[in-house]
Amino acid sequence: MEASPTKSPLRLPAMANCIRITIFTLFVLPLVARAGESPLYETEIRPIFKAACFHCHGEEEEIEGNLDLRLRRSTVQGGDSGPAIVVDDPDSSLLLERIVSGEMPPGKSKLTPAEIELIRAWIRAGAKTAEPEDASASAFSLAERNFWSLQPIQNPAVPNVADSSRVRTPIDAFVLSRLETEKLNFAPDANRRTLIRRLSFDLIGLPPTPEEVKSFLADEKPDAYERLVDRLLESPHYGERWGRHWLDVAGYADSEGFNEADTERPSGFRYRDYVIRSFNADKPFDLFIQEQLAGDEMVTGPLKNLSPESVEKLTATGFLRMAPDGTAAGGAMVNLARNQVVSETLKIVSTSLLGLTVGCAECHHHRYDPILQTDYYSLRAIFEPALNWKKWRVPAARKISLYTDEDRTLAAKIEAEAKVIDAERAALAKVFIDQTLDSQLLKLEGAVREPLKIAYKTAGSERTDEQKALLDKYPKILKISDGSLYLYDREIRTDAAKIKAEHKTKEKEFVEQAFTAALADLSKEEQAAVRSAHATAAAKRTVEQKTLLEAHADKLVTAATLEKFNAASAEELKQLKQSEKDLLATLKADRLKAIQEKATKIRETKPHEGFLRALTEVAGQVPETFLFNRGDFEQPKQKLVPAGLSVLDSQELVSIPENNPELPTTGRRLAFAKRLTDARHPLTARVLVNRFWLNHFRRGIVETPGDFGYLGARPSHPELLDWLANEFMSNGWKLKQLHKLMVTSTTYRQSSKRSPEQDEIDPDNHLYGHMSIQRIDAETLRDTVLAISGKLNRKLYGEPVSVTKDSIGRIIIGKDNLDGERKPLAAIDMKGEQFRRSIYIQVRRSRPLGVLATFDMPVMEPNCTSRNSSTVTPQALMLMNSEFSSEYAGVFAQRVYELTKDDPQKQCQHAWELAFGEEATAKQIENSVAYINQQKQHYEKFPQPKSKQTPDQLALKSFCQALISSNAFLYVD
Amino acid sequence: MKDEPAMTDSNHTRSARRHFLASSAIGLQSLALAWLLKEDKAFAETFKPELQPKTFDLTPKMPQHPPQATAMISMFMQGGPSHLDLFDPKPAMQKYDGKEFPGKIKYDNAAQASPVVLASPWKFQKHGECGTELSELLPGLSKIVDDITVVRSMHTGVNNHGQSIHALNTGRILRGRPALGSWLTYGLGNRSQELPAFVAMTDPRGIPVEGVNNWSNGWLPALFQGTVVRSQEPRILNLDPRKELSGLAQEKYLSFVQELNREHLRQHPGELDLQARIASYELAAKMQTAAKEALDISKETKATQTLYGLDDPATEEFGARCLIARRLVERGVRFVQLYTKNQYWDHHGSIRTSLPAACKKTDKPSAALVTDLKQRGLLDSTVVHWGGEMGRLPVIQNNAGAAKVGRDHNTYGFSMWLAGGGIKAGGTYGATDEFGHKAVEDVVNHFDYHATLLHLFGLDPEQLVYLRNGRAQSLLDGQDGNIVRGILQRG
């Protein structure tokens, strides 16, 4: 179905559309002329010039045509072509002429008619500025310096509201006062079942059990809800849930990405565990940030015999090691790869903590925000002592061992023991080589033996050409080595097998000869009878045969009795046996292997050596940082010193030293971390509380959590944002308290039911007049399926659960097990690890787990500041047809079956409660039972030949699969 | 001001839609209605940043100007076919054959580099009314030469397979960005209600260099990812019901799921996402039969099967994929990309035998595709692309005897051909230097190529943006791509 190709109005909003948006345009529309007032340079004109013109006319070292548009006065003054504008006379203004003709700006993006009209109006009205231009005005305009997110955080008073009955916390007062201006109110409180499900998913990422629901419903104490909140916040699963949110912005991954190999990061998981532990311990967030940015600078002394505290601080710096890092591959692109690590790391830091797209200033001044290109490189300078692209350390070179001196001593002792065995093996190998050489030489004609032996024994580099030629002629001699002995063993085995065969033939022959001799006295008939009886298996002999054999017992010859009849033959056989044994005793490779295994076993007793993935500086290395022209590291320009954003200079934040003499490190990152967590910093706390809010309320107060800049959204509730930021900081940056404040609010406890009144003016619920429904995210979906199936392995922390590809390339949980042609072999037992929570599943960038990727688990390139939620057919197909869905529906059904046995009503009720957290109504039970019966009849009519399950079980399974496929399961109210 | 986000949802359209929903009351089971309701998104005015969390869908979107193309089939010749031996005759090279190259060469593999010129061992001849010269290795293409434009001045300038593939398939040389097909489906949605919008068809002998990155949605939402149609069963993952839940059992299961969903929706009136999910189940069920039908080429006439070379073992496999590609586009699929196996065209050595073999496999079926699309009236709206991520150098690599010589990578000048969907029929565009080493005339970079394709689809390269981490991201990513008017029917 193709929409008809009509030109869509991309630039100018249709008038009809403008009416509805009046409430919101204030915080989303970046560029509007104020009606009735003449445009001002700083607020209206400069943003246009900045985006379209400054690059050539002001910001670069060389200013095109000597025209600098960064100041009103330099604009009037003009450049090589004369004044750019004639005040009051747009029609005589060269600047406007060039713009209107399309000559400027060059390239394909032109100014819009609205922008051009604004410039015209500005010139006509006298080209006014908001305030007199001072010298510093060229860097940042007043409007830029006054941008909302760069202002100090205010301490707004909690507003009064008309309907105070709904106000449980100050949050509610802020939200309600805004609602009341639209004549709206909160939705009613949600019921308890909804609340416990909402809270459980929100705080621990898992559904409440039916028992937990029951006990909450039965709790009649007035603080039942508060105690539920406390219980969930104390659950160790809280850290998994909220740690996951942080890992998104940190760009957590268990592989290096960058190139096809996508090498694994074996120690990356310790950072993940650090994050989970920090959340569980309610570590103050300022400390949490400081540790992640500068944990290494907080550790004193050399990086060995690390105390648990030091390990924790160093592990925290894994935050700065999360960017894709392809530098180990080397090659021609290595400098690009190194610089990319630096720039991606800066992206992670700035979008997660500053909430600004600082990365845009890598090549030129930020087009929209007051971030200079020099700011970018000053920021980069903070990290360069640790991420020094000129003296780069690849991931393997940055590993920090967790060995203590004791471990090391013990390991050395064990190594020494193993070395003894190694030496034993080496000596024996030497003997074996000599033996092999001799035995091989014996197979050659006499004349070449000695010269060959000498040639072989001569070191490769010292052999004469003749010797080399000789050895080349006899590769069987040349190739004798420790590693090839097993090949010569094959020869021995062949010889031994020959002897064995000879032994067998001879034995048969000797026995027959002796038997014939022993029977010689008997008649032909008797001989035949004895032979026949003797040849018959003992169990099958007749009574007559047995009697006959007993009578001639002294004449019966077998291999065992041969010696009595013919000692010489028996001796010959014995000799043969012995020579086979002797020959096999000369097998060499297996003996060497056995010794080697002994050494390996000894080595295995060494204490396990873990490593940290951390960021550190190299003492004494203080690299100089240069601005890169257009972001190209091959075009370094002026040197820059470390600093924070210059637009905040007036705010007296912690400044950043070039090299702090009191620390073994430069102290740059530590100072930067202190600066960010300085209560006066306008961004950090705002950015953080906005994120927390987003995860509770499913929408940020600023809807672009990674961008608090000009192109980002404006806060819907700016006072609330500041109030929360203050509250957070004044309570010691403690998160659990803030959680409690948020989730105990009326705003949070509302029903998700929409009201027509609010839908009329605020259909997207910017005003929080009800709770927004939300689809559970990828990890929660998988974890919940595991939980309700009774399979969830609740083990905390540790190495990631590996992922692999199945025979058709799907990414599943498992270990790589490939044959020589890289085709998958049988699955390796995962020992229950396959049931771990999703946060512990290996994040291999090139191998996103199928079920998680389908439900929008983000790709870390390099991080994710806010998740998408898609509703697409592959999700439906996955729930309908995938192995995951089918397998766990089966386990879920089995669990339900075991608990309720053959009572269909009970089965439905129980499964319903597990999946939805709700009690099924009589009608729902009736429908469900009817469905199960239908399916049962179907399976009775069409038996499933390969299934071990009864029609009852299959029907129940399909019911359980329907539940986990349905919206009531997938969405939270 | 630039880079205003195109095609993002906004308050007023959602609100308008909600009004409609309210007045039409319940009864939203009809997929078609849901479909129609979503279509108004296409007219959304776009001046606010992306608001999170967003939902995305594949409903048809309005292009920004009338499109000439509505679908594309790209035959990606991974490895880099030698333009010098196929598309770009250099008679002047003959006199240098076997002699030293008179200039500087950008080698990739220094260890096997040789400065000795290798003039093409194959003859070129003019074909068709347009008189485009093609190599004797391309007899099939020669017959339809009046329907195609050969671009002889391609350039990505980065001599590695992976990076050049990224350039041509995702717009930049770095990994991790959305593929062209993802951008097109993001910008325009799906024309089919029953089939995936973006299909990647892999070679049975292995996936191309960069594997899944070729059809990755990058950081675009997952629904814009290419769906892999595999060369053997299961052709599409999770498409087929599991045995015990197939046929009637699945019908019952689905109708029960939808019953639950509708009841849930009644408790949540006005929730668009819940309605969309109900629709997604209906689509999934339809897709199960529709995709099976689309992939089944047995019902095609004998004549058609012969046209694609299904009767010849050499062309059978690639021919079948070309034919499936046509069937998909015919049924509304937006973008199909076919890949040859890993490094199939990477002829560092033995080019005298390996290049003819590769041509034998692809020449007839790819020409058949153009012929077939044309006779069905689909060529006018379908862009057909044939080309790899690079060409080859004019000099010898692996100078170890005539049978062993090959050519090294060359991304400074190479060829591809395009047809249909507004592309000029007949003729060549651009030129390389006299040795075919570097594009010198009307150079077409990967970003020009993408700007042109988007233009044909009615999309403005600077308007088709996705806001991510506060930045407006686009396929061209700020590179100054020009629409290559010289290859368009309507310049």
Question: pLDDT of A5-28, one tens digit each?
Answer: 333 322 222 222 222 222 232 333
d(CA A429, CA A658): 59
SS3 of residue A729 by DSSP: helix
Strands (E), A860-930: none
Q: What is the mean pLDDT of residues A694-710?
A: 91
Q: What is the mean pLDDT of residues A131-159?
A: 83
Q: What is the mean pLDDT of residues A698-711?
A: 89
Q: Which residues have a Cβ under 8 Å from the Cβ of A575 and sit 6 or more positions away? A: none
A650: left (phi over 0), alpha (psi -120 to 50) or beta: alpha
For residue B136, is pLDDT > 80? yes
Minimum CA–CA partner of B331 in chain A: A1
For residue A481, is pLDDT > 90? no
Q: Sorting pLDDT into bands at 50, 70 and 90, what band is B346?
A: very high
Q: Sorting pLDDT into bands at 50, 70 and 90, what band is A609?
A: very high
Instruction: Tell me the shortest Cα–Cα distance from A842 to chain B, in angstroms.
Output: 19
d(CA B185, CA B243): 32
Interface mutation vs chain B, best among A339, A691, A870, most B CBs within 10 Å: A870
Interface mutation vs chain A, best among B39, B78, B267, B277, most A CBs within 10 Å: B277
Q: Name the residue facing A357 among B15, B63, B470 (closest C-beta).
A: B470
Instruction: Tell me the shortest Cα–Cα distance from B243 to chain A, in angstroms.
Output: 8
> A477-481, A523-527, B183-187, B213-217 — which one is most confidently predicted on average?
B183-187
CB contact at 8 A, B412 and B80:
no
Lowest mean pLDDT among A336-350, A379-393, B39-53, B295-309: B39-53
Percent of chain A with pLDDT over 70: 95
Strand A625-628, strand A636-640: pairing: antiparallel
pTM beyond 0.95, yes or no: no
- Answer yes or no: do B277 and A20 touch at CB < 8 A: no
Q: Name the residue facing A14 among B3, B18, B45 (closest C-beta).
A: B45
Instruction: Tell me the shortest Cα–Cα distance from A225 to chain B, in angstroms.
Output: 24
Q: Does A208 touch chain B (CB under 8 A)?
A: no
Q: Which residues have a Cβ under 8 Å from the Cβ of A457 and sit 6 or more positions away? A: none
Query: Cα A839 vs. chain centroid, distance in angstroms?
Result: 8
Percent of chain B with pLDDT over 90: 57
Q: What is the mean pLDDT of residues B213-238?
A: 82
Nearest CA among A136, A116, A106, A138 for reference residue A44:
A116
Q: What angle do CA B477, B479, B481 make, to 5 degrees?
A: 115
- Phi, psi (degrees; rounded to nearest 5) at A196: -70, -35
Average pLDDT, chain B: 84
Instruction: Tell me the shortest Cα–Cα distance from B274 to chain A, in angstroms.
Output: 7
Asked if the bond preceding A105 is cis, omega within 30° of 0, the reply is yes
The full DSSP string for A816-831 is --B-TTS-B-SPPP-T
Q: Does A895 touch chain B (CB under 8 A)?
A: no
Q: Does B115 touch chain A (CB under 8 A)?
A: no
Q: Name the residue facing B238 among A865, A878, A970 (closest C-beta).
A: A878
Q: For A537-564, what is each residue's pLDDT tens digit?
A: 888 999 989 998 888 888 889 898 899 9
Cα A33 to Cα A117, A125, A199, A712, B88, distances in angstroms: 10, 13, 45, 19, 56
pLDDT of residue A820: 61
Strand B471-474, strand B71-76: pairing: unpaired
Side-chain-side CA neighbours of A259 within 13 Å: the count stands at 17
- Answer yes or no: do B57 and A759 touch at CB < 8 A: no
Q: Does B16 touch chain A (CB under 8 A)?
A: yes
Chain B residue numbers touching A881 (CB-CB < 8 A): 238-242, 245
For residue B44, is pLDDT > 80? no
pLDDT of residue A39: 85
DSSP class of residue A231 equals: H
d(CA B119, CA B377): 40
Q: Which helix (H) or strand (E) holds B148?
A: strand B148-155
Q: Which residues in chain A (633-672) have CB-CB distances under 8 A to chain B?
A: none
Q: Sorting pLDDT into bands at 50, 70 and 90, what band is B110?
A: low
Instruction: Tell me the shortest Cα–Cα distance from B69 to chain A, in angstroms.
Output: 11
pLDDT of residue B55: 57
Q: Name the residue facing A8 among B51, B62, B480 (closest C-beta).
A: B62
The full DSSP string for B245-263 is G-THHHHHHHHHHHHHHHH
- Answer yes or no: do A2 and B472 touch at CB < 8 A: no
d(CA B153, CA A431): 68
When computed from its CA atoms, the radius of gyration of chain A, rounded to whole angstroms, is: 40
Three-class HEC string of A919-941: CCCHHHHHHHHHHHHHHHHHHHH
Q: Name the residue facing B49 among A28, A754, A935 (closest C-beta).
A: A28
d(CA B150, CA B154): 10
Q: What is the mean pLDDT of residues A299-321?
A: 93
CB contact at 8 A, A166 and A172:
yes
For residue B1, is pLDDT > 50? no
Q: Sorting pLDDT into bands at 50, 70 and 90, what band is A737?
A: very high
Q: Which residues pair with B154 in a beta bridge?
A: B414, B444
Q: Which residues in chain A (361-420) have CB-CB distances under 8 A to chain B?
A: none
Q: How many residues does chain B have?
A: 491
- Phi, psi (degrees; rounded to nearest 5) at A893: -65, -40
d(CA A850, CA A856): 10
CB contact at 8 A, B347 and B355:
yes
Q: For B74-94, what is each residue's pLDDT tens digit?
A: 999 999 999 999 999 999 899
For residue B33, is pLDDT > 90? no
Helix axis angle, A192-204 relative to A224-234, nearest 10°? Answer: 20
SS3 of residue B416 by DSSP: strand
Q: Does B463 touch chain A (CB under 8 A)?
A: yes
d(CA B95, CA B114): 17
For residue A112, is pLDDT > 50? yes
Nearest CA among A770, A790, A696 for reference residue A207:
A790
pLDDT of residue A504: 95
Q: For A85-96, what is each residue's pLDDT tens digit?
A: 888 888 888 898
When computed from its CA atoms, the radius of gyration of chain B, rounded to whole angstroms, is: 24
| CB burial of residue A554 (10 Å; 0-12, 13-18, 19+) | exposed
Structural domains in chain B plus CATH codes: 11-54+238-283 (no CATH), 71-237+296-487 (3.40.720)
Q: For B432-457, what is each residue's pLDDT tens digit?
A: 999 999 999 999 999 999 999 999 99
d(CA A653, CA A325): 32
Chain B residue numbers touching A5 (CB-CB < 8 A): 62-63, 65-67, 458
Residue A198 identity (one-letter amino acid): R
Q: For A172-222, what is each residue's pLDDT tens digit?
A: 999 999 999 999 999 999 999 999 999 999 999 999 999 999 999 999 999
Q: For A888-931, what is each residue's pLDDT tens digit?
A: 999 999 999 988 877 889 999 999 999 999 999 999 999 999 99
Q: How many residues does chain A have?
A: 973
Q: Which residues have a Cβ under 8 Å from the Cβ of A513 and sit 6 or more positions away? A: A566, A569
Q: Which residues in chain A (670-729) have CB-CB distances under 8 A to chain B?
A: 694, 698-700, 703-707, 709, 711-713
CB contact at 8 A, A260 and A244:
no
Q: Which residues in chain B (47-66) have CB-CB distances under 8 A to chain A?
A: 47-58, 60-66
- Answer yes or no: do A808 and B230 touch at CB < 8 A: yes
For residue B28, is pLDDT > 70? no
Minimum CA–CA partner of A367 in chain B: B1
pLDDT of residue A10: 28
Chain B residue numbers touching A965 (CB-CB < 8 A): 257, 281
Nearest CA among B292, B328, B73 for reference residue B196:
B328
Instruction: Tell me the shortest Cα–Cα distance from A698 to chain B, in angstroms.
Output: 7
Q: Does B243 touch chain A (CB under 8 A)?
A: yes
Q: Does B6 touch chain A (CB under 8 A)?
A: yes
Q: What is the mean pLDDT of residues A689-705?
A: 94
Which residue blocks in A350-387 are alpha helix, DSSP H? 373-383
Average pLDDT, chain A: 89
SS3 of residue B471 by DSSP: strand
Q: For A223-270, what is each residue's pLDDT tens digit?
A: 999 999 999 999 999 999 999 999 999 999 999 987 767 899 999 999
Strand A400-401, strand A611-612: pairing: antiparallel
- Answer yes or no: do A3 and B60 touch at CB < 8 A: yes
Higher pLDDT, B100 or A921: A921
Q: Does B259 touch chain A (CB under 8 A)?
A: yes
Chain A residue numbers touching B3 (CB-CB < 8 A): 109
Instruction: Tell me the shortest Cα–Cα distance from A239 to chain B, in angstroms.
Output: 23
pLDDT of residue A360: 83
d(CA B181, CA B185): 6
Q: Which residues have a Cβ under 8 Å from the Cβ of A31 and sit 6 or more positions away? A: A44, A47, A48, A115, B1
- Answer yes or no: do B13 and A17 touch at CB < 8 A: yes
Q: Which helix (H) or strand (E) holds B87?
A: none
Q: Which helix (H) or strand (E) holds A674?
A: helix A668-676
Q: What is the mean pLDDT of residues A879-885?
A: 94
Q: For A433-472, what is each residue's pLDDT tens digit?
A: 998 899 889 888 888 899 999 999 999 889 999 998 888 8
pLDDT of residue A6: 32
Chain B residue numbers touching A756 (CB-CB < 8 A): 22
Minimum CA–CA partner of B166 in chain A: A259
- Answer yes or no: do B249 and A108 touch at CB < 8 A: no
Q: Which helix (H) or strand (E) holds A517?
A: helix A485-519
- Answer yes or no: do B48 and A28 touch at CB < 8 A: yes
Q: What is the mean pLDDT of residues A66-87?
A: 83
Q: For A319-354, what is each residue's pLDDT tens digit?
A: 999 999 999 988 777 888 899 999 999 999 999 999
The structure tokens listed for B419 are: 């047809």
Q: Name the residue facing B253 among A3, A107, A962 (closest C-beta).
A: A962
